[in-house]
Amino acid sequence: MESTIKSRVLKVLEYKHLNANSLSRILGIPQRTINRQVNENGKIGMEFVYSLLSKFTDISPAWLILGDGPMLCPKELGLLAKECAPFYSDLPVTAGYKDTYDPVRETPSGYISMPNLYAQFYFPVLGTSMEPEIHSGDIIGVNRVESLRELDSEKIYMIVTNESRMIKRCYPHKDDPELMWCVSPNYPAFTINKSDICAIFHVVNRIERL
């Protein structure tokens, strides 16, 4: 296991035969920023990590972020289906802020395997409404919930509408069965019409930000 994420990034650059200049052109990130984060004393930022994973889908997110497993993702679809879940670095879940939901963008940036913690999908988190339980920059693993009747107020959910992807706790509305309360520690609670929900997912695990 590589000791730091910076050393793993350097290993990726060596494997891809890239330097800061060529990587800058590929990622669209200023060369000065890459040099500061990778070659100098700066801290590797999550936006840089997500950009790297988005371009190099053969690199394992679990390895790059946590140092777990091999550097490269499994190539066999059967292995991916059984052992890994797709990670969508370009589709952040907003914790407190609106973000357009685009159901067309289905190509994963990579795959994540978390032993004994199965999740169907992984997404990065932006925003602070669920802190201190979930931080901006974390990655959450989610499983789809088939029925709103299955919701548990003690659990955290990713709610997808045509206008947003957000993580909240959910409570029934006492006076209107068509509405549902969305609650988080750091923002005022609000109601959402159940008919506006495209999909809902239970947050089953979390990869903590760097």
Predicted confidence (pLDDT) per residue in 75-99, tens digit: 543 444 446 777 877 777 765 433 4
Query: What's the CATH architecture for 1-78?
Result: Orthogonal Bundle (1.10)
pLDDT of residue 107: 67
Q: How confident is the model at residue 46 (pLDDT cuts 50, 70, 90)?
A: confident
Q: How confident is the model at residue 65 (pLDDT cuts 50, 70, 90)?
A: confident
Residue type, 153: S
* Alpha-carbon distances of 73 from 11, 55, 88, 132, 144, rounded to whole Å: 15, 14, 14, 31, 24
Q: How confident is the model at residue 102 (pLDDT cuts 50, 70, 90)?
A: very low
Domain 84-210, CATH: 2.10.109.10
Domain ranges of the chain: 1-78, 84-210
Residue in 11, 2, 60 with CA at minimum distance from that of residue 38: 11
Peptide linkage before 132 cis (omega within 30 of 0): yes
HEC profile for the chain?
Answer: CCCCHHHHHHHHHHHHCCCHHHHHHHHCCCHHHHHHHHHCCCCCCHHHHHHHHHHCCCECHHHHHHCCCCCECCCCHHHHHHHCEEECCCCCEECCCCCCCCCCCCCCCEEECCCCCCCCEEEEEECCCCCCCCCCCCEEEEEECCCHHHCCCCCCEEEEECCCEEEEEEEECCCCCCEEEEEECCEEEEEEEHHHEEEEEEEEEEECCC
Is the pTM for the entire model greater than 0.75? no
pLDDT at 12 > cutoff 70: yes
Tell me the average pLDDT across 54-72.
81
Residue type, 161: T
